[in-house]
Chains A and B, each alone.
Chain A
Amino acid sequence: NAGVTQTPKFRVLKTGQSMTLLCAQDMNHEYMYWYRQDPGMGLRLIHYSVGEGTTAKGEVPDGYNVSRLKKQNFLLGLESAAPSQTSVYFCASSYMGQGGELFFGEGSRLTVL
């Protein structure tokens, strides 16, 4: 039982390049989330999904796209990376509703030069 896994763990991009972060969970959770973590700003929600085939915007969605084609996977894409997107990205999943615990992945550190 691996929980929530993210790939890659580290990535360096040049401005304008694109990339995709992959999140996979094996707990059969309905809800999945992408957060970014920046110093002093806590964890900010980028996009989330309440089930396979659904996505919705969070607090800071601009510059990112997501897809949830399979229940266990949630992809975060950057179409044209900017230095402001340098951050640590965390994926999380939770059982549907009722204030359930969020299970986080190990994080992906992205640097945009």
Chain B
Amino acid sequence: GENVEQHPSTLSVQEGDSAVIKCTYSDSASNYFPWYKQELGKRPQLIIDIRSNVGEKKDQRIAVTLNKTAKHFSLHITETQPEDSAVYFCAASNVGAAGNKLTFGGGTRVLVKP
């Protein structure tokens, strides 16, 4: 099955700086890569996703890049703010397979210091 590795496990940045989280996946059939944000004590929520036919996607201060050849994708947060402090999860799935099952990475705890 799919295996998703996520690094780093913790990330501390100064407010205004950029944050980058990297994930690698093992199954070349995976074609959908979402990112979820989980604030302390809350449920995970989708913040951005990318499909395998696109190399980069941007939404305001967040962007995701995908390298299918190397099987890795990254989340970039620019001009970080204290409300960006949370745990971020990457995930991968093959939407052609039954169940749309997501395999998640281990998570990255991001702390934005004011």
Contact = CB atoms under 8 A, between A and B. Distances in A.
Contacts, number: 64
Interface residues of B, number: 28
B9 to A, nearest CB: 7
B43 A97 contact: no
A105 to B, nearest CB: 6
B89 A104 contact: no
Interface of B: 1, 4, 6, 9, 31-32, 34, 36, 42-46, 49, 51, 89, 93, 95, 98-107
Given A42-B106, A90-B44, A99-B32, 10 more contacts: A33-B101, A43-B104, A56-B98, A58-B101, A90-B43, A97-B100, A99-B31, A99-B93, A99-B95, A102-B102
Interface of A: 31, 33, 35, 40-45, 48, 50, 56, 58-59, 90, 94, 96-102, 104-107
